[in-house]
Each structure stands twice: as structure tokens, then as C-alpha cells.
Amino acid sequence: AQTVTQSQPEMSVQEAETVTLSCTYDTSESDYYLFWYKQPPSRQMILVIRQEAYKQQNATENRFSVNFQKAAKSFSLKISDSQLGDAAMYFCAYRSAGSGMRFGAGTRLTVKP
Amino acid sequence: ETGVTQSPTHLIKTRGQQVTLRCSSQSGHNTVSWYQQALGQGPQFIFQYYREEENGRGNFPPRFSGLQFPNYSSELNVNALELDDSALYLCASSPWMTSGAGETQYFGPGTRLLVL
């Protein structure tokens, strides 16, 4: 079974600095997708970034980028120039064809002014 | 463009009762997935519907059932409620892609269910 592990329950970063959230996953599939979702206190999950496993190039979305290491089954999220609005729960998720999305337990990110 | 909406926002039920939660998909989306998110945990996949048929299910008992309607709105029904069913229930809609896995899911705000 596919599992997603986020080993950092909580992280803290100073405003304007950079933080990296870790995620590892376990799968025997070769074709799959990885996601980072953000869940602010308002509860609505928002997609931050998406990575196709067959693409070697790391995905980037403005201040958000990933370090995808397929062989190591690692998928970390880097947030640059952190802003107060980045404070939220961040969930790493995995999905392969024919299955639902599997989420990690989440990392709570605090941004200090 | 209207986003994903869910109703009600909060609900309190007693053990043994039945509950129906509703979801309205984002315009143009024909796939809906439901998730259960217990307090302090990540969401867990319940099931997915595509064109009114269930086409994927997580590790949830049959008392969790669903429907998808021709207008792509959806319901989650839970029978014989148990205390452990207390959670945030999220629905997510998406357009169907050939891969069936890479499409972005757009989440609703969720329904908070409390079972006493």
C-alpha cells in the first residue's frame, strides 16, 4: 500500500526567510503524481504545487518549489520569502491511476513576523 | 466560476443516526471525491464518483455510501453513526483526465460532523 510520511509535525520560519517541508512516500508504482496542499484555519484545502513522477524537472510556482527525488521517494517543498499568509497546515499527497489521493499527517507551519 | 460548495457547514448527530452531506462541484467538473479528516490528521479517501458511478473506494465500511447526480452534485450518506465518525468531511471535484490521477482536485470548505 502506498503511504505518505511527513516527519515534521511543526515548523517555524521567520518572515522573508526560506523553509523546507519534508515528505517521503512509499510505492511500487512507476507512474503517479505528487501534490502539496495548504489548509489554512478556514479549512479549505488549496493546491500549492503538483509534480508528475515521469518529469525529472522540479515543479515551481512563484515562491514555492519542490525537490523531487524519485529514487529516494522524497518530495520536499521549499517556500522562499515566507509571508505571514503562508501560515497553515501543509499536506503532502500521492495519487496513482485508479486510486484516491493519499495524504500525509501534515506539517503545521508558523511564520514569525 | 463557482467553486466547490458543501452543506451544511456544521452538524451534530447522535450515535446510531444517519446523516447526509451535500457537495456541489465546480462548474465543468465531472468527478467528485470524498474525504474524512479526523482532528489533527490528514484527509483519508472515502470514495470517488465519475459520471454518477463509484469508481474508487478507500478503506471505509459499506455504511458509507454516496451518490452523484446528473448535474455532478454529490451526496455522502453515513448510516449507523459511530463516535469515531466525528470528523471534517471534505469533497473535492475535478475534471476527468486520461490518467485518472493527475488532475487537480478542488476542495470544498468541508462539513464538520460531531457524533455524540
Long-range (24+ apart) CB contacts under 8 A made by B42-45 are: B42/A4, B42/A91, B42/A93, B42/A103, B42/A104, B42/A105, B42/A106, B43/A45, B43/A91, B43/A101, B43/A103, B43/B90, B44/A103, B45/A99, B45/A100, B45/A101, B45/A102
| Cβ atoms within 10 Å of A84's Cβ, excluding its own | 9
Q: Can you tell me whether residue A113 is helix, strand or coil?
A: coil
For residues B1 and A112, which has the higher predicted lDDT (pLDDT)? A112
H helix or E strand, kind and range, residue A87: none
State residue B95's pLDDT score.
Answer: 83
State residue A29's pLDDT score.
Answer: 86
| Tens of pLDDT, residues A42-71 | 778 999 999 998 888 899 999 999 999 999
Residues from chain A contacting residue B101 (CB–CB below 8 Å): 31-33, 95-99
Is B96's pLDDT higher than 80?
no
Contact between B35 and A32 using a beta-carbon 8 Å cutoff? no
CA distances to A39, B55, B100 from B63, rounded to whole Å, are 28, 17, 26
A100 touches chain B (CB under 8 A): yes
Contact between B101 and A105 using a beta-carbon 8 Å cutoff? no
pLDDT band at B98 (very low <50, low <70, confident <90, very high): low
Among all chains, which residue has been given the C-alpha cell 452538524?
B11
State residue B29's pLDDT score.
Answer: 87
Is B103's pLDDT higher than 90?
no
State residue B100's pLDDT score.
Answer: 59
B50 touches chain A (CB under 8 A): no
Strands B10-13 and B111-115: parallel
CA distances to A58, A101, B61, B86 from B14, rounded to whole Å, are 48, 30, 19, 10
| Tens of pLDDT, residues B9-57 | 999 999 999 999 999 998 888 889 999 999 989 999 999 998 888 988 9
Contact between B110 and A43 using a beta-carbon 8 Å cutoff? yes
Per-residue pLDDT of chain A in tens (113 residues, 90 and over written 9): 679 999 999 999 999 999 999 999 999 888 899 999 999 987 789 999 999 988 888 999 999 999 999 999 999 999 999 999 999 999 999 998 777 899 999 999 999 99
Query: Number of residue pairs across A and B with CB atoms under 8 Å?
Result: 68
State residue B71's pLDDT score.
Answer: 86
Task: Indicate if the alpha-carbon torsion angle B103, A85, A7, A62 is positive or negative.
Answer: positive
Mutation target to probe the B interface, by most B beta carbons within 10 A, among A37, A38, A48, A101 is A101
Which residues touch A53 (CB under 8 Å, ≥6 apart)?
A30, A31, A32, A33, A34, A68, A70
State residue B115's pLDDT score.
Answer: 98
State residue B114's pLDDT score.
Answer: 98
